[in-house]
Amino acid sequence: MRRRLPRMLACLLIGGGLTAIPPTVGFEQSGRSSLPFHTVLELEQTARLLAVLLDSGRAVINDNQMVLEGSQGKGLTPEAFERQLVDMFRGRAGIDLHELDDTVLAPRTKRLLRALVETSRQVIADLRRDLQPQDAGFTGFIPAVFGARVSARFTDHTGVRLKQTSLTPRNPANRPDAYERGALEAFADSAYPRETVISEMTADSASFRLMFPLYATRHCLDCHGEPKGVVDRMGYPREGLVLGQNAGAISVLLPVKP
Amino acid sequence: MKILLLVLGLLLGTVDGGKTTERPPLPLEKPAGSGVIVHHDGYVLTAHHVVANAKRITIVTPGEFRAPAVLVSVDVEHDLALLKVETVGLSEAPLGYAGEVKLDQEVIAVGFQFGLRETTITRGHVVAVRTRGVQRVFQVDAAVNPGNSGGAIFNRQGEVVGILTTKFTHPSGIVPEGMAFAVPISYATPLLANIPDFDFSAIGKTRKESKKGKGHGDPVLEMARTSVRIETIRMSEPPAVQSQSAALRSGQPSVPRAPASVARPNEGAGEEAIDRVNAQLQADQQEAMKRLLDQGLTPLPGMMLIPAGEFLMGMEDGLPDARPLHRLYLSAYWIDQLGVTNGQYRVCVDGGSCLPPKVRVAFDDPQLEQRPVTDVTWMQARTYCQWAGKRLPTEAEWEKAARGTDGRRYSWGNSDEVIQKSRATLTDGKASANGVEPVGMPLSARSPYGVSGMIGLVSEWVKDWYAEDFYRASPTRDPQGPLRGTFRVLRGGSWMERPLELRAGYRGWDEMTYWGPTLGFRCATDAP
């Protein structure tokens, strides 16, 4: 389909390998849950919005690849990033993060959304601080790296685990577990309805699980597109994805008890 | 599944000592599933797939009262259907509040397993809540078998809290034994609204009443009294959509309706037929304009009025995302006769409301002022239209304006000749650098409503998110596209695209932050 200007630069998917997500011991506790259905729906909304927000951040990084590259990572200020993130999230979720108080979301949902915006902003601020003047050109700061750094920090702060995963992850830390694999296989089926999540809350688990599908953008294809098998500039063989194809998912593990 | 049911039903029926022989010998009704009486005037709730494609539906109560049922309403997405039999005074099941259903809570499944005459009552627990796409279900570990489908699950108070469905796939891809899925009863609300005077305030109130001592006795007996068996005779033909398209392909004369041209697509129709439709559509348009003027409203400059009415959207012979060919109703609207030009866009940029195109070469060339603006993102397109007091057209609005009502291939009809000729002009040396070519669009390439440049100039951003499966579940009135997405739809294209991509029904798409030398837009607005 309409693939026009092949543009330089890196991609979204699961890659990087720069930051590994810490092990997630302690999420699955024993004991049976007796949550009412309406609370489960609330958890689902929270998990879905967190996934949309993380993916919105990835999309902002995707859109700013040229800026980041041209300026050794300095071109994107935390303020500009946050403004674009809020815009992107408003477009995709219909929620204005600046007017969260006026929404009917649960208090915990609002708190977690705010925390994720703050974590994302910090990751951008740290990127600017840590870059050395001699680092020129490609910094390797691609959406997947952004996502991994934000996820790791967010998990430390809130106990909510966010993870980018795919059936063929480049970063071994992103390998899917059994539940994630089932959902990823469903997403990979071309008959699966677009943009819709798969989730579960079981009586014998202490956390809500949700899988949010991701789709390959043009920037992704620079590293993950054709020709399949040919090594990209990060040193990985290309996956041969095409524009708009499912390219993994964001996995959310939201503990029932805050 | 259907065959399995039949075989099992017959097999077990025979073993049962011939009880099933009471059924009328012809035509043979087959057990299809279960249902639950939700209103004493004969309303029965069941799963959609139980009655899907049924020529005749029969309800059989536990007391062997047998009556034909009609389909009142369906919700295919959630796999629910509401039936009605002509009777009064049935025992109805109270409905519960799905929001209060707790994980690990005990539930009771009632139904007619294998289509047998005896009610089966099994107990279990809600072990999970699962979402997959548009479906959300309770996973229940009660023993459930074919024939239970469409039956209710009850809470301990004897209230219906869900309807059993088989149209849900476990993430593992298999349904483990002794496990079932039920659609929460809350999703039946739109269906129940079809019942005159349905008392929604009674939902979840049973507990108090029964404490007052109505004394029905055993709630389980009550559950059994309100559960019914459903039998159907199925049509041998494939579902409606396909049979419609089959009729379309065979080109049989169809039932005349107004406007007559809507009845079947004009794919393959000759120029004469196209001319006839054009004349009809232009007459409709002028009449609608006249009505507006009579109301004292002034026409909008540079815009064409598209009158309210039905049209055919999609293509049967295109890519999968353009299927099926389907009939939609759109309210009246205005759409720009030409795409937004560099000159028009400059006014917005100069006023500080719009950002300049991402690539300014064409934009800054005074020679190209009258050409469509390009290198704009979806956001920029939307901002411009808002600034102009308009909005982006929906995908359906774009297609109707480009194609008229008769499902033709291109704006001008079905002939590829216009494309060949226009390409020849381009390669004659008159082509500009970036494919945005002569405003001298041939008059013959106009749409039946007089809208120009929809095919042959640039791809145009429209409002909708892109989803390849949207047509399959599209609302039939003024569809607004999917609620969420990653890509936005692009319609139309330059003469240099492949002929397939120049069809009026072709759906392009791209990232909303993308721009390019062949990406432009036009605006639309509601008509009163």
- The DSSP result for A156-220, as a single string, is HHHS-EEEEE-SS-SSGGG---HHHHHHHHHHHSTTSPTT--EEEEETT-SEEEEEEEEE--HHH
Q: Does the beta carbon of B319 lie under 8 angstroms from any beta carbon of chain A?
A: no
Nearest to B133 among A35, A193, A218 (CB): A193
What average pLDDT does range B86-115 have in this prediction? Answer: 91
Decide if pLDDT at B21 tops 70.
no
Cα of B98 to nearest chain A Cα, Å: 7
Q: In what order do the strands lie in the sheet with B303-306?
A: B303-306, B333-336, B524-526
The arithmetic mean of pLDDT across residues B65-72, rounded, is 91
Closest Cβ–Cβ partner in A1, A179, A202 for B508: A1
**Statement: residue B390 has pLDDT above 90:** yes
Q: What pLDDT sits at residue B190? A: 92
Say if CB B505 and CB B315 are below 8 A apart: yes
Residue B7 has pLDDT above 90, yes or no: no
> How confident is the model at residue B451, as a pLDDT?
92
- Of chain B, the percentage scoring pLDDT greater than 70 comes to 81
Chain A hits for B130, CB-CB cut-off 8 Å, are 198-201
pLDDT at residue B193 in the model: 92
Q: What is the CA radius of gyration of chain A?
A: 18
**What does the DSSP assignment read for B236-273?**
SSPPHHHHHHHHHHHT------SSGGGGS--TT--HHH
CB atoms within 10 A of CB B12: 14
Contact A248, A186 (CB under 8 A): no
Contact residues, chain A, for B379 at CB < 8 Å: 91
pLDDT at A6: 37
In what helix (H) or strand (E) does residue B328 lie, and over which residues does it extend?
strand B326-330
- Beta-carbon separation of B459 and A33 below 8 A: no
Measure in Å the smallest separation between the Cα of A211 and chain B Cα atoms: 10
Contact at CB, A34 and B104, closer than 8 angstroms? yes
Q: Which pLDDT score is estimated for B441?
A: 67
One digit per residue, the tens of pLDDT, for chain A of length 258 reads 443 333 333 344 444 433 444 444 444 444 677 899 999 999 999 999 999 999 999 999 988 887 887 766 567 899 999 999 999 999 888 899 999 988 889 999 999 999 999 999 999 999 888 776 665 566 788 899 999 999 999 999 999 999 999 999 988 889 999 999 999 999 998 878 888 899 999 998 899 999 999 999 888 888 899 899 999 888 889 999 988 889 999 999 999 987
For residue B166, the model assigns a pLDDT of 81
Residue B262 has pLDDT above 50, yes or no: no
The stretch B180-206 carries a mean pLDDT of 91
Alpha carbon of B44: minimum distance to chain A alpha carbons (Å): 24
Residue B88 in this model has a pLDDT that exceeds 70: yes
pLDDT value of position B216: 55
The beta-carbon neighbor of A5 closest among B484, B490, B516 is B516
Would you say residue B55 has pLDDT above 60?
yes
pLDDT category at B177 given cuts 50, 70, 90 is: low
A129-138, B132-141, B448-457, B489-498: which range is least confident on average?
A129-138
The predicted complex's ipTM stands at 0.81
Average pLDDT over every residue of B192-202 = 90
- Nearest-neighbour CA in chain A from B435: distance (Å): 12
From the list A35, A59, A185, the residue facing B102 with the nearest CB is A35
B510–A contact, CB cutoff 8 A:
yes
- Are B516 and A1 in contact (CB < 8 Å)? no
Q: By mean pLDDT, which of A135-149, A160-174, B72-86, B217-231 is the weakest?
A: A135-149
User: Of A32, A44, A185, which is closest to B131 when you measure between CB atoms?
Assistant: A44
Assign B212 a pLDDT band (cuts: 50, 70, 90): very low
Calpha distance B194→B75 (Å, rounded):
12
pLDDT at B255: 31
Residues from chain A that touch B126, judged by Cβ atoms under 8 A, are: 203
Question: Chain A residues with CB inside 8 Å of B172's CB?
Answer: 182
Kind plus residue range of the DSSP H or E element containing B73: strand B66-75
Burial bucket for residue B495 (CB in 10 Å: 0-12, 13-18, 19+): buried
- Structural contact between residues B322 and B314, judged by C-beta atoms closer than 8 angstroms: yes
| pLDDT confidence tier of residue B257, bands split at 50, 70 and 90 | very low
Least confident window among A5-14, B94-103, B144-153, B475-484:
A5-14
- Put simply, the answer to whether B103 touches A35 (Cβ < 8 Å) is yes
0.80 exceeded by the pTM? no
Confirm or reject contact between B513 and chain A (CB < 8 A).
Answer: yes
Model confidence band, residue B427 (pLDDT cutoffs 50, 70, 90): low
Chain B closest-CA separation from residue A166 CA (Å)? 15
**Minimum-distance CB partner of B514 among A185, A186, A218:** A218
Closest in A91, A193, A244 to B469, CB measured = A193
| B positions 131-190 inside 8 Å of A (CB) | 131-134, 138-139, 169, 171-173, 184
Give the Cα separation of B352 and B406 in Å (integer): 42
Is A37 within 8 Å of B184 when comparing Cβ atoms? yes
User: B103 and A40: CB-CB below 8 Å?
Assistant: yes
Chain B residues with beta carbon closer than 8 angstroms to that of A198: 130-133, 171
Residue pLDDT, tens place only, B345-379? 999 999 999 999 989 988 999 988 888 999 999 99
**Are B477 and B383 in contact, with CB atoms under 8 Å apart?**
no
More confidently predicted of B15 and B225: B225
Are A194 and B467 within 8 A, CB to CB?
yes
3-class secondary structure, A72: coil
Q: How does the average pLDDT of chain B come out, rounded?
A: 82
**Which amino acid does the sequence have at B203?**
I
The pLDDT tens digits of the residues spanning B430-460 come to 444 444 444 556 677 789 999 988 988 899 9
pLDDT tier for residue B54 given thresholds of 50, 70 and 90: confident
Which of B76, B103, B379 best probes binding to A when mutated, by most A CB atoms within 10 angstroms?
A: B103
- For residue B184, the chain A residues in CB contact (below 8 A) are 37
A31: helix, strand or coil: coil
Share of residues in chain B with pLDDT > 90 (%): 47
pLDDT at B320: 86
Residues of chain A whose beta carbon is less than 8 angstroms from a beta carbon of chain B are 1-2, 4-5, 32-38, 40-41, 44, 59, 62-63, 91-92, 179, 182-183, 185-186, 191-204, 210, 215, 217-218, 244
Q: Which parts of B76-119 are beta strand (E)?
A: 80-85, 106-111
> Is B100 touching A (CB cutoff 8 A)?
yes
Specify the 3-state DSSP secondary structure of B140.
strand
Rounded to an integer, what distance in angstroms lies between the CA atom of residue A162 and that of residue A154?
Answer: 8
| Per-residue pLDDT, A39 | 94
pLDDT for res B62: 84
Q: Which two tokens stand for residue B95?
A: 């409905």
